[in-house]
Structure 1
């Protein structure tokens, strides 16, 4: 199977942005993970990427390259944006395709596997007249992996472990859609073979201002929950994050996260 893998935007075209993140960077990170999972674990898979770094490439250049290479499938990776109020995952095929088309069948499979993995609100399967869906001569699919300007979706995007899960979801869909065969000696489900020494950190807020982070710590302590401020730099922007515990047991982390949410504060688990 020949996959043309297209991380949307790049170079002078950053795509959407929000919460200290740039779409072009998230797209590329997920796409590189998809390529690695496919080429490492599956037989008879060729992957050509529209870009492997932060360079500029037109939409026409991308579809021309995929068409001349003779790809079997075009997969375009994106993130969404809409004034901070919308959230969730959705994907697209071209709007002239019927629900009985081969491409629609691929979308059914991919959508199911990706939504299992990403933990996002399911906005559904959609159709559109996007260039990469219209001008590619092979079956083509475009995924919108959360809203970068939505604080909850963006909090997930900042997690390496979440981006890996999203990549796994895309790969699992491709495996089912194209009946890919696993290489000898590779585990049957790479998601289940994670590092046993993983640490689950409970993050109860991420702020541009340390003053706001300190206020969240004080609030949580008033609710009987210990917390501290840590820093993390993303895309050259410093974030002050409130960490309310780190656990080896996921169940314990879930319990702490739920306790925080009962106070009215947001929280998520980072691993």
Structure 2
């Protein structure tokens, strides 16, 4: 089994970045739950969360959870701030394995492919959650909460699903995961809202095939979806 630890940045008394009526801690949790939900379609993927509700965890606690599980990958999801725009990813700026670099290359590319935003590049930083983990760890910064255009996208649940879809496709490609013969509903509270139809906007993707693929996956998971 491939053990994936999903870390929703911030939480509890630490809201993360706040702007345009949004809180980073809420967005990261929504994205992480969607990632876990979509990964339920794949064989050999065992998903764990550092948090599934609005609680505070020290950075060292997040890394300790992944280390104790002997995870194969930790992905820490964040929303950026500081007046920029677009997506970027980080790995530790110290000694890292070749697998860490390879996973960043693949996952970063799939996220960029899934969302039509500025690619700010693959970066390195001395972030605790990257430094303290014993396995490959990647931190993603998904748009800027204090940029009005980015915030408008982040207010769309369908866009958050696209972000999650990119993360999932990256994980699937990095670890060679295969679809389950019969997809089962994973145990998560990220379930479809009753009566809601997700509109997958072709224009939000670089490639129409990616929009079609997301729509198909959403339908299989019980999310009513149409391509517009």
Residue 35 of structure 1 pairs with residue 36 of structure 2: yes
| Deviation digits for residues 176-218 of structure 1 (CA, Å, limit 9, x no counterpart) | 00001110045xx75142569868xxxxxxxxxxxxxxxxxxx
Contact 1:114 1:170 (C-alpha < 8 Å) held by counterparts = yes
User: Given the two structures, how large is their TM-score scaled by the length of structure 2?
Assistant: 0.81
> CA shift at 1:61, angstroms?
0.9
Contact 1:103 1:140 (C-alpha < 8 Å) held by counterparts = yes
Contact 1:17 1:149 (C-alpha < 8 Å) held by counterparts = yes
Q: Specify the SS of the correspondent of 2:28.
A: helix
> CA shift at 1:97, angstroms?
3.9
> How do 1:1-150 and structure 2 match up within 5 A?
1-39=2-40, 41-82=41-82, 85-97=83-95, 101-150=98-147
Task: State the distance in 2 between where 1:59 and 1:4 align.
Answer: 14
Task: State the distance in 1 between where 2:71 and 2:87 align.
Answer: 25
Give the count of matched residue pairs: 196
Task: State the distance in 2 between where 1:129 and 1:164 align.
Answer: 29
Residue 174 of structure 1 pairs with residue 197 of structure 2: no
Which of structures 1 and 2 has the larger relative contact order (alpha carbons within 8 angstroms, sep 6+)?
Answer: 2
Displaced runs of 4 or more, over 6 A? none
User: Given the two structures, how large is their TM-score scaled by the length of structure 1?
Assistant: 0.69
Contact 1:97 1:104 (C-alpha < 8 Å) held by counterparts = no
Task: State the distance in 1 between where 2:27 and 2:7 align.
Answer: 12
> CA shift at 1:130, angstroms?
0.3
Contact 2:215 2:225 (C-alpha < 8 Å) held by counterparts = no
Task: State the distance in 2 between where 1:131 and 1:117 align.
Answer: 28
Contact 1:79 1:146 (C-alpha < 8 Å) held by counterparts = yes
The structure that has the greater radius of gyration is 1
1:246 maps to none
